[in-house]
Amino acid sequence: NAGVTQTPKFRILKIGQSMTLQCAQDMNHNYMYWYRQDPGMGLKLIYYSVGAGITDKGEVPNGYNVSRSTTEDFPLRLELAAPSQTSVYFCATNPGGVGANVLTFGAGSRLTVL
Amino acid sequence: TQLLEQSPQFLSIQEGENLTVYCNSSSVFSSLQWYRQEPGEGPVLLVTVVTGGEVKKLKRLTFQFGDARKDSSLHITAAQPGDTGLYLCAGKYSSASKIIFGSGTRLSIRP
């Protein structure tokens, strides 16, 4: 049982390049979230999903896209990378339903845009 | 815009002292969590509070949920160097499935 798996762990991008951060979970959780964390700061919600085929914007969605074709996977796409997107990205899951409020996190993906 | 304000942002105290961290919002939460994060790792859950006025204790840590479920506090008694880290509150709003985080409190305990 791997929990939440994020790939890659580290990536350096040039300005204007695109890439996809992968997130996979094997806990059959309905809810999945993408957060970014700038140095020394809290986490900002980018996008979230309450089930396959359903996604919604969080606090800072600009410059990102997501899809949720399966329960297990929730990839985050960066189009036209900018230095402001340099951050650590965390994927998290939650079983969903009444009272479900605890997040299980992946190990994070550190992205640098130069 | 739903915001979670956390204070203080930084706190450096001597070992053995007490401290309190606050988490405030103008909106009502259905639940609130406190996490602790070490450098290079993801946040790890400390506690969840769901009932207004609820108090939970975890060894030297005491967590309180406000009566109106709009705020919470974390109190550490006799802080130890091992308490050093980034403390984050996270709230789930009744009307939404999203969970948002406060800006974090970076705590440093000096021996």
Residues whose CB is less than 8 angstroms from the CB of residue B59 and which lie 6 or more positions away in sequence, other chains included = none
Domain extents in chain A: 4-96
Instruction: Identify whether the C-beta of residue A75 lies closer than 8 Å to the C-beta of residue A23.
Output: yes
**A·B CB contacts under 8 A:** 63
pLDDT in tens, B29-63: 888 999 999 988 889 999 999 899 999 999 999 99
pLDDT in tens, A43-87: 999 999 999 999 999 999 999 999 999 999 999 999 899 999 999
Task: Calculate Rg over the CA atoms of chain A.
Answer: 13
Quote the minimal CA–CA distance from A80 to chain B in Å.
26
In angstroms, the CA B55 to CA B58 distance is 10
Instruction: Tell whether B2 is covered by a domain.
Output: no
| pLDDT for res B27 | 87
pLDDT in tens, B57-110: 999 999 999 999 999 999 999 999 999 999 999 998 766 688 999 999 999 999
Class of the A4-96 domain? mainly beta
Q: B41: domain CATH number?
A: 2.60.40.10
Cβ burial, residue A7 (10 Å; 0-12/13-18/19+)? middle
Given an 8 Å threshold on Cβ–Cβ distance, is B104 in contact with A40? yes
The parent domain of residue B97 ranges over: 8-110
